[in-house]
Structure 1
Amino acid sequence: MSASVPATDPAVYAEYQAKWSKLPDSAETWLIRAREVSEVLAKDAAQRDQENKSPRAEVALLKHSGLTKLLGPQKYGGGGQPWSVGYKAIREVAKADGSIGMLLGYHLLWSTIANVVGTPEQADRTHQLIISNNYFVGGAVNPRDSDLKITLDGEHLVFNGSKFFNTGGVVSDLTVLEGVVDGTQDHIFALVETRQPGIQFAHNWHNIGLRLTESGGVKIENVRAPWSDALGWDVATKKPRDDTLKIVFPTLLLPTIQLVFSNFYLGIALGALEFASKYTTTATRPWPFGGENKESATDEFYILERYGNFFAHLRATEALADRAGDQLSGLYTQYQTQKSNLTAQERGDVAEWVASVKVVATDVGLRVTSGIFEVTGSRATASKVGLDRFWRDIRVHTLHDPVAYKNRELGRYVLLGEIPEPSWYT
């Protein structure tokens, strides 16, 4: 790390490596672990947001906790949990720190990408590599940019190009690259080592929210990967694997990541309500000019009404997110245990569950994270309080892809019975 790019010190969390040396062994204990991580991050979340340092310490904390292994197979030391548990863990971490919840979510996606687009052998090999080394995985896969160009060199692929956004790459051990073979329309995903001269980070992530996600630009220059790491491709023929069971299943990658987004939005909003509640009960003053003056802010009708309304909408959003997580996990189980292909209708139906969560989590999240200022008071706008970080974090990522298109997609689904065509955002 260059001296010009300050980073947090992993030593500050060294004690947790021993404290959390044993992995949880059930869905319930994994979520307890996620809450413990959240409690640690909450202690200085506002300060770390303001300091805006590269989150090396925070990634080390995720590694110490074992959450980076949550979805991996148990035979290699992973948690063996389904995505439904992974989503809840992301939500818990995001309650305290939206940036770190986002990094965990992207890691869980990229560290298991071979499950979706790779061969069984590649998935097995990738899990062993990531879990045995406790690697953190980032990704340079921004569909809005031009695809990386892939040229062929014997038994190797060579990636070249750049991405305006990547997530977590600077603090990762492995990076997912995606590109198109030169002269074709063939896309290839591959995991490569992050620390190599051909991967050059711009260190230009200076946005208003999600400040600790290292989501800036990256240049890829002559980065090589063996054909054996071309996920889902046949090494001998240098062609995509001919397997009818893979026709629909890889398209689950996009609903999977869209639900990652919604869960850290939801976690941020839940964290905002919890943070604001503590502030209101300890620091907010009642309004003395309302006629029927109250002794405490917690007796104010408008404050009680707002908190109740926010709470009800967040509860409903949680229930919807959990339902969508269960639906998606069910499709993974169906494919991976029964080896039966998914139908386009099954994939489309789950995509619309996910779209529903995206719409609701966006609407409710923005309303709650901005509305809490009305029930905390003017002093809550002080920088030292840090209440603004919740809105800033949600506002930044909800612009990832326009939620208006999710509303339109749902409209076509309910009115016309149309399922969405798989795309980079659906």
Structure 2
Amino acid sequence: MSEIPTQSLGAGAPALVSPLAASLGFAEAFGEIAATAARREREQRLPHAEIATLKSLGFGALRLSADDGGHGVSLSELFALARDLAAADSNIAHAFRNHFWQVEAALQRRDHPFHAHVLDLARRRKSVGLSFADSDATAAGARSSRVLSRLEWDARRQVYVGSGDKVYATGNLYNDAFVGVAVESRANDTVQYVLERGEGVATEDDWQGFGQRLTGSGTARFRDVVVQAAHVYACDPPKAPEAAPWGFTFHQVYLTNCIAGIVRRVVLDAVAVLRTRQRNFYHGEAAQPADEPALQALLGRIRAYATSIEATAQRAVQALEHAAQKNGTSDEYASTLAATLAASEAKVVIDDLAPQVASWLIDLGSGSAVSSVAALDRHWRNIKVIASHNPRLYKERLLGQNLLTGQLPPTGAFF
């Protein structure tokens, strides 16, 4: 069960690799990642080589134009490709999230030198991670993990120096550069910076989650790292008062999109399980499990739910893309609010249904599906770990409040 079935599937069955992925040259890489995902899970082998291959193919530059060294895909196509990758291995898709967000933000402000630097890194097949907190949340119990919060000027070397730790630094184990916000010591001003990986940068694989084990979500440690003066930039100007305040919907949709990719993989694995299962229960109605009516019905249920989950995720993606197209216009506020609510609706539904689909895979295979060699349990575990980001309970309440009173969503990254 470690490989995607090679037999042709029936009409309407999901494909691991979409025509778009194939046309952009990712088919072979995605196929190899899918075929070896269970083995990596068993061996706890971090996908350094797989991620390096994707970067060399320009996966991190998907949104840059062809003239700018990228693939020129739309935002909706970016999410479709990320979903393909999540079907192959959700760990790898998740590891690219912060990079894609940073590139997306840079595309909106490409004239600013900080964002131009980020785009240049993507153009050079480098990936970008974060060295600051994901939220400015100040609620009771919230703990900021902001690091490199101060850059000290070293007059002798004419560089800035900083230190700190970032906990839960998803993807940083694989990233080539890191961006953040800090106070620089000379003028005591808040600045943005780009730190390329070098001496003093270390990322530990100390993430202890029961799923998404290979995302590189450990602790990033920065010890007297050098930030070049030319890589320290003025912060973006503040948004206009009428601008939409919800700036983190991309993150939410991306994670939900990853879950949809996992569910697609569940369908493919379910077909393989039923085709290769040799023995039926004595009280079954057919000699072969593949001919058993109850199991055929369960496979159909898995297919139907998976198709609905992908459609729900795509609805949120389309709302996000529409909002991005309205950035800076009079429609920005309304479209961004609509995208945030659509992201919340998708998360509530998908976080509830996707674990059920992954559980049905085990029901379908029964004792044939519980082998640690196949590692089919990783789908349920990965779904639940991704879903644990910003629990759906708060989104359910917000959606109800919004209907009753017009309550608006929080604006922090952790919602």
> TM tier, shorter chain?
0.7 to 0.9
Aligned to 2:128: 137
Aligned to 2:172: 169
Q: Percent identity?
A: 24
Q: Size of the alignment, in residue pairs?
A: 383
Q: Write out aligned runs for 1:26-425 (5 A).
A: 29-30=20-21, 32=23, 33-115=25-107, 120-131=112-123, 133-143=124-134, 144-148=143-147, 150-151=149-150, 153=152, 159-178=162-181, 189-197=192-200, 199-225=201-227, 229=231, 233=235, 240-241=236-237, 244=240, 248=243, 251-283=245-277, 285-290=279-284, 293-335=285-327, 339-340=328-329, 343-425=332-414
CA deviation after TM superposition for structure 1 residue 243, in Å: 5.7
* CA-atom RMSD in angstroms: 2.9
Q: Distance in 2 between matches of 1:248 and 1:79?
A: 30
Are the counterparts in 2 of residues 34 and 93 from structure 1 also a CA contact under 8 Å? no
* Superposition TM-score, scaled by structure 1 size: 0.80
Q: Distance in 1 between matches of 2:239 and 2:369?
A: 57
| Residues 227, 308 of structure 1: alpha-carbon distance in 2 compared, 3 angstrom cutoff | farther
Deviations 1:47-103 (A, max 9, x none): 111111232101122123322211123332112222211111111011121111212
Unaligned runs of 5+ in 2: 1-17, 135-142
CA deviation after TM superposition for structure 1 residue 415, in Å: 2.6
Q: Which one-letter code corresponds to 1:65 in the other structure?
A: L
Task: Please state whether the residue corresponding to 2:306 is helix, strand or coil.
Answer: helix
Q: Distance in 2 between matches of 1:176 and 1:28?
A: 34
Deviations 1:232-270 (A, max 9, x none): 62xxxxxx525639x636x55410011110111110111
| Residues 152, 287 of structure 1: alpha-carbon distance in 2 compared, 3 angstrom cutoff | closer
| Residues 284, 209 of structure 1: alpha-carbon distance in 2 compared, 3 angstrom cutoff | farther
User: Of Structure 1 and Structure 2, which has the larger fraction of its residues in helix?
Assistant: 1
Deviations 1:324-375 (A, max 9, x none): 212211222222xxx4255433322110111112222212221111221001
Q: Distance in 2 between matches of 1:118 and 1:148?
A: 25
Q: Which one-letter code corresponds to 2:288 in the other structure?
A: S
Q: Distance in 2 between matches of 1:423 and 1:407?
A: 17
| Residues 157, 254 of structure 1: alpha-carbon distance in 2 compared, 3 angstrom cutoff | farther
CA deviation after TM superposition for structure 1 residue 166, in Å: 0.3
| Residues 407, 191 of structure 1: alpha-carbon distance in 2 compared, 3 angstrom cutoff | farther
Aligned to 1:12: none
Are the counterparts in 2 of residues 35 and 93 from structure 1 also a CA contact under 8 Å? no
| Residues 300, 92 of structure 1: alpha-carbon distance in 2 compared, 3 angstrom cutoff | same
| Residues 359, 95 of structure 1: alpha-carbon distance in 2 compared, 3 angstrom cutoff | same
Task: Please state whether the residue corresponding to 2:222 is helix, strand or coil.
Answer: strand
Q: Distance in 2 between matches of 1:201 and 1:215?
A: 9
CA deviation after TM superposition for structure 1 residue 106, in Å: 3.3
Unaligned runs of 5+ in 1: 1-26, 234-239
More deviation, 262-271/281-290: 281-290
